[in-house]
Each structure stands twice: as C-alpha cells, then as structure tokens.
Amino acid sequence: MEEFRAEGRGGPDDDTTLGHTLRDYAGRWRDPGVFAAYVAEVRAAAHPAEPLGVPVTTLWYADGANYVGRISVRHTVATRFLREYGGHIGYDVRPTARRRGHATEMLRACLPYAAELGLESVLVTCDTDNTGSRKVIEAAGGAFEDERGGKLRYWIRTDTARV
C-alpha cells in the first residue's frame, strides 16, 4: 500500500476503490484488528446489507507471500456511473510488480467467476491515457465499444478464458 501512496494514490481527489481504502486504512495496516476489520468489510461487500448497494467481490493476487494486486468484480452495473464509466471490473497492481503480465493474468482469471455470476460479458473501462490498462483489456479479449467522459469502454465475453 505504501507503493500506491508513494505514486500519489489515496489523496482527497482519488475517488477510486483503492483511494478510499488508502484513506480509510493507511498507516494502520499492521494492527491485526484493523486488518481484520478491513477483510471483513471487503468480504461483506459481496453481500451488501443496503438494497441499493452493488455487490462486489474483491480478489487478491499474490506471488507466494507477496501481495501483487487486487481485482474487483461488480456483480452488476446497476448505477449510471458504473454503466457509463466504472464497469464490472476494476484492478490495481502494485507499482513494483507492473509490466510483468500480472494484470492481464488477473483479468483473464476472474472471467470464469464473472460467468458464474451469470454475466455473459463484462464492461471494463480505463482512462483514455492509460496505455498499459488498455493493452491489458485488449489482451484479455476486450472489444472496444466507445469513449465516454475520458474513459475507454470495452466488453469482454466471460467465456473467453475457456475458448
């Protein structure tokens, strides 16, 4: 998490899942009680208590004992923001682990899970200037749909991993 903070993530204008997580838990990760609360929050998000919550499953990606990144699968894109900009899947790879194929592997690996949720295809977006993420999405079978509000929008069939 310190690597993400060092690159500027988690500031007040970072409205991403990672940004919120860093603001809520930064500096307290080593406390077992705090980390347990974070894990409980992540697990509970797959089954939100409030009816307007969008269920999301977060999976951590590791290389042995080393955290590499996370990928989140939203079970639906039931809000306007998610349908237009956020999509079904979001991911982050720690800076020192980038450019090694981890994000592509993570994205491909979660497609069967999305299929189990009943999703025939998933919307994955990235910023127009994020060449690395664009390449990840395309390598995982992303078919470009359009650009909206600074986001490139791609659809990936969830049966791609089984072809």
Q: What is the pLDDT of residues 89-117, one digit of tens each?
A: 999 999 999 999 999 999 999 999 999 99
**pTM (two decimals):** 0.84
Cβ-contact 76, 54 below 8 angstroms: yes
CA angle 33/21/67 to nearest 5° reads: 75
Q: Which pLDDT band, with edges at 50, 70 and 90, does 1 fall under? A: confident
pLDDT > 70 fraction of the chain, expressed in percent and rounded: 96
